Structure 1
């Protein structure tokens, strides 16, 4: 285990690297308060795809948290753990696709690999939801959503991890790499 001062320096270095990460202009990323009690040190970010004037995104959103615990909690496989979340609304027809969850998960692993984000212990869930409004919400009609929650232990907690997460958020919103400022068709507002 590294000396106490060294682990603090490591966390500061990693947090600064995350703050300096570059993102496409379609995605607005900001630092947010970290959840309390998850680790001795952590840093969190929120990302929204093309948010409106109020900061809400009808296309997709996500959260990213880097945690550091020099005591290496069981299940982490080391002193670092990343927890991430990404979700986007879909057309109902897409929400019923039996391969949707598998495709969403592959987008995460592909993004991590493409950005060189070395990791161990990758795990998570991909959830697809199809809904129909009734009564006062009947006018909303049918809707669908994909949500991906994942965690992994970074070998080196550098900017590659948050950049991969940002790519995933945009992919779920229908914006593959290289599609900056291209119109998004067929998205439904979040409920």
Structure 2
């Protein structure tokens, strides 16, 4: 089943959509099509990803993220092209890891390494990595101290092999959640969607 998103037709956008559908998704990640933004570009696709692990018979969320592909046939100067990928990834951390001064740099390098390892070609990459450490008080005191890492990034793909970009984002989500790098146990995105609809 095709990925939802966008309206009208654009040959490059349809080629990009087909490429996204061929992305290989890890079995421990659930990826779904979600409503995409309509104000930023004429064409867009949005995906949500959630890493889940069985704990005491229930699913507990380990990490979450969003992957958005934007396309403006006329291009946008800030993009340095006519396509732009925008992604978000977030995962909880142990409090002591959240205070590591190198965590933000490591998180950014995980994204670029994951993209590079899959052969994703891109330019004009930018982003922020934010560590949040929180302590509960009063009625929330039992939550104790916790932390999470958030990465917001964007880049311009330089070709329409966008499966590599989705696969890099998937690997980033799994690394943030503490899962080992994938070697086997992947499935095709379009097949996973068809099985759930």
TM-score by length of 2: 0.83
* 1:127 paired residue among 126, 130, 138: 130
Are the aligned partners of 2:131 and 2:147 in contact in 1 as well (CA < 8 Å)?
yes
Paired with 2:77 and 2:103, the residues of 1 have a C-alpha distance of 32
Residue in 2 that maps onto 1:90 = 93
Residue in 2 that maps onto 1:171 = 175
Residues 75 and 179 (structure 1), Cα distance of their counterparts in 2 relative to 1, 3 Å cut: same
Structure 2 unaligned spans of 5+: 1-8, 186-197
* 2:67 paired residue among 47, 64, 67: 64
Moved more, 155-164 or 104-113: 155-164
Residue in 2 that maps onto 1:27 = 29
Are the aligned partners of 1:48 and 1:56 in contact in 2 as well (CA < 8 Å)?
no
Residue in 2 that maps onto 1:146 = 149
Paired with 1:139 and 1:16, the residues of 2 have a C-alpha distance of 47
Structure that is richer in strand per residue: 2
* 1:17 paired residue among 16, 19, 22: 19
Residues 146 and 180 (structure 1), Cα distance of their counterparts in 2 relative to 1, 3 Å cut: farther
Alignment length, in residue pairs?
A: 174
Measured on the aligned residues, the alpha-carbon RMSD in Å equals: 2.0
Q: CA deviation at 1:56?
A: 7.0
TM-score by length of 1: 0.86
